[in-house]
Structure 1
């Protein structure tokens, strides 16, 4: 079973879209053509469509993309979703912004792929374009050898996440999903790159980005590496 098939139908319940995220985006980019890399079921893209953007969502999970595509209204011509590798972002032409939320970036295979992704984004962005991504704070996680994932539970399911730290170069990320309606428990895993802030900043600079902001939340609190999440905003 593919890892994220476990949660596709409940994704927007497990990870609801924060208004603060949309406001954060609009601070950097008011409109235009955007890519949401790792779009899941497309909730952010639909919200940005209503804000005047022209969004394309890409994800490798077929089930997620199918759910997103089925939500498109016949009259909506300025939104689309594709099953696509984010390393192929240059195929979408010139962009006003690229977003990569939900700790998607660590799913790349190695650090070279991360740098290539940053470089491709830089080439794809227009002069005033912005690249915004969110990632877990692996400086803190690796140092403490733990992460406090909250259990998410309602009347339909129980969702749990954990890391296995046996391999430090690529952490084993485990999902356990219990379907209460069908009395079924499922588990799967993948491996994630524990990308630290120094590497990310240096790779963004090497790719060409001149202005890089790091924040602990969508209220622009400067990152001090004590929180479990970091948001980066990189401008040309």
Structure 2
């Protein structure tokens, strides 16, 4: 997945805005060491440091980290692989918003996070649940097929029951886990859905000629119009899992 950090900041600020509510679960006092896993352009990293916590923001995208360093030059950002963290028993909290659904190897991810946490340290995260953006994925798949292309979802989207088992297998004790609908308005009026697709489905469009890409975008909008176009705005059919889990010493 190749990320466009400018498009992400300008048209998809809702990702960070929704993530702010997740910070309410985090102890952000100055004695805390926090990892912002999948920090993107750094907006939530900046929120996490406001009460004096020591925060490191990591992302696999060099473009995102470059933009984060420009946005917040005094903060600590690093390009890193979340499934292979270099930290051992270091963090009080691993925080992550809207990231896990992009990572195929969840067992390796959770093992990496578990090892990076101190005993009784917490994983606090939120990401896509089963049937997240189902209408968008379905419309996009139809449009691709009509133009001779295929679609295979890149997302990992479990139910809370499925993810509970993965957490327990990794050694976590679950304090809180919910799965819920979160209809999400997309910015920029009629252009909202195509902006979303150009950001989050960029890998499918990167090798498609411009005229065909425009056709696919128009057809996706047509397929999705009846389901997620409401009152002159696209409302993405997001579903989320929200988790607080503790590293179990045993």
Please indicate the TM-score interval, normalised by the length of the shorter structure.
0.5 to 0.7
Equivalence map 1:74-223=2 (5 Å): 76=74, 79-91=75-87, 94-102=90-98, 104-109=99-104, 113-138=105-130, 141=131, 147=134, 162-164=136-138, 191-216=154-179
Question: Which of 1 and 2 has higher RCO (CA within 8 Å, sep 6+)?
Answer: 2
Cα shift at 1:204:
0.7
1:235 to 219, 240, 246: 246
Q: Which runs of 5+ in 2 are unaligned?
A: 145-151, 181-237
Residue in 1 aligned with 2:208?
none
- Give the TM-score, by structure 2 length: 0.61
**Over aligned residues, Cα RMSD in angstroms?**
3.1
DSSP-derived class of the 1:15 partner: helix
- Equivalent residues of 2:59, 2:81 under 8 A apart: yes
The answer on whether the counterparts of 1:12 and 1:43 sit within 8 Å (CA) in structure 2 is: no
**Partner-residue secondary structure (3-state), 1:210:** strand
- Larger strand fraction of residues: 1
Give the Å deviation of 1:89. 1.8
Q: d(CA) in 2 for partners of 1:72 and 1:90?
A: 23
CA contact (8 A) 1:5 1:61 kept: no
Q: Secondary structure at the match of 1:41?
A: coil
- The range that moved more, 15-24 or 52-61, is 15-24
What's the offset of the Cα at 1:215? 3.0
Structure 1 regions of 5+ residues with no counterpart? 149-161, 168-173, 175-188, 218-226
Structure that is richer in helix per residue: 2
CA distances 1:44-99 after superposition (whole Å, capped 9, x unpaired): 111111121111111122221111111334xx4xx311111111223465111111
Confirm whether residue 24 of structure 1 aligns to residue 25 of structure 2.
yes
